[in-house]
Structure 1
């Protein structure tokens, strides 16, 4: 299994329009602080799956040489996690899409013209895709309705993507996602910045420790972190295009 972090930014991305902070200026100059919106590519020997399709998906697909995907999984109904799906228009029709009913109802009301192949998934019920086992689990991200994270298994290997979430994930989810080889965690800001709907970096590290993650990588990152080369000395920050073999 191979994971590529296509986009590691939060909703506005970095650089933020009109911002001249050091992190945004590093992004303007082409540094790793440049972050497009959230999307993750999961690959096996049998195919490719996207976890979320942020608004910058066209750039991400072109930049990573991706011509076809075998499925899309949506974690929740926020614009920065699904709007890029429209970039498949006239490229790939009838894409297989997976998610819980409430999420699919909302998104497909907006993207109905794509005529995707809809697959409703029950939370905590595993399903197979590209030879991998996927399971959606409950997280907490108000005001999104029933947001989920994604667990992926291949043999004894286990990857957990929290999706957007607060730290107070329920015990059933915590038990399910325990002892992952890789945790890709929402960590939108450093602990010096107040946040309500997401985890900060301190909370993400605490989650990683509490579930016994062998490795943790942060994503959904804002410009409130220092420029990447500085902040990555303190935090396990992901970056756009980062590839991880599991």
Structure 2
């Protein structure tokens, strides 16, 4: 039996890379050779022929074309910000044309915010609250609220299957002890780090930078970590000072979700 697999469909922050207004070296390279080109953050979890996505931002259609999929039945959402839900109308419309109802999963407060923004979605998407957990592709999944700084809140997800435990936490900063509790004992942590070192005033910020993330990892001690949700401050061509066991996500990266034999 093959192991489940995680694929990074998008690894960018809310604006993606390149940013349309920007001529910095990273954005210029992203337009040219594309090593730093990043769609908004989303991942796919595959288990045999079954799969589900986490988040459905405005690049959803492009992502689906990249992976050669014409439909998806299940999407789990972390929070109701545009870069994580902007593709939901296109998904709902695809479901309408295909004559099948998609399944959208999120905490109830997130679902409520989504329906406020897109009140027609329940006609084509089944809304399922996951406040008390959910099973997808055999994964036991729990969620909890995490601090998203000036942007309010997001949710993180912890997934367990066949003894492998990992978490997806794309949008958070300055987590307290309670918020960190479910991030302990992980085989893999996928963590959002928008900047290498963000110099903006802390009160204006919403996501860990890589210096702060290193301190967090020293405390949590996951077996491995992958940084995602990266802005144009992050240049993958540079030799960044990453802690041991940490790497940067890139579009199309695949990760085996199983204990190493």
TM-score normalised by the chain length of structure 2:
0.86
Is the counterpart of residue 155 in structure 1 residue 162 in structure 2? Answer: yes
Matched position secondary structure for 1:230: coil
Q: Which residue of 1 aligns with 2:38?
A: 35
- Cα displacement (A) at 1:109: 2.4
Count of matched residue positions in the alignment of Structure 1 and Structure 2: 241
Match of 1:4 among 2, 7, 25: 7
Matched position secondary structure for 2:120: helix
Match of 1:179 among 146, 169, 185: 185
Match of 2:248 among 229, 237, 241: 237
Report the Cα distance in structure 1 between the residues aligned to 2:171 and 2:19, rounded to whole angstroms: 19
Superposed CA offset, 1:25-63 (max 9, x none): 110013220001111111112621111111111001110
Match of 1:109 among 110, 116, 124: 116
Superposed CA offset, 1:43-88 (max 9, x none): 1126211111111110011101223323111111111111112222
Match of 1:95 among 91, 102, 105: 102
Gaps of 5+ in 2: none
Q: Which residue of 1 aligns with 2:143?
A: 136
Q: Alpha carbon RMSD of aligned pairs, Å?
A: 1.8
TM-score normalised by the chain length of structure 1:
0.91
The higher radius of gyration belongs to 2
Q: After TM superposition, what 4+ stretches of structure 1 lie above 6 angstroms from structure 2?
A: none
How do residues 194-233 of structure 1 correspond to structure 2 at under 5 angstroms? 194=200, 196-225=205-234, 227-231=235-239, 233=240
Q: Higher mean Cα deviation, 70-79 or 189-198?
A: 189-198
Gaps of 5+ in 1: none
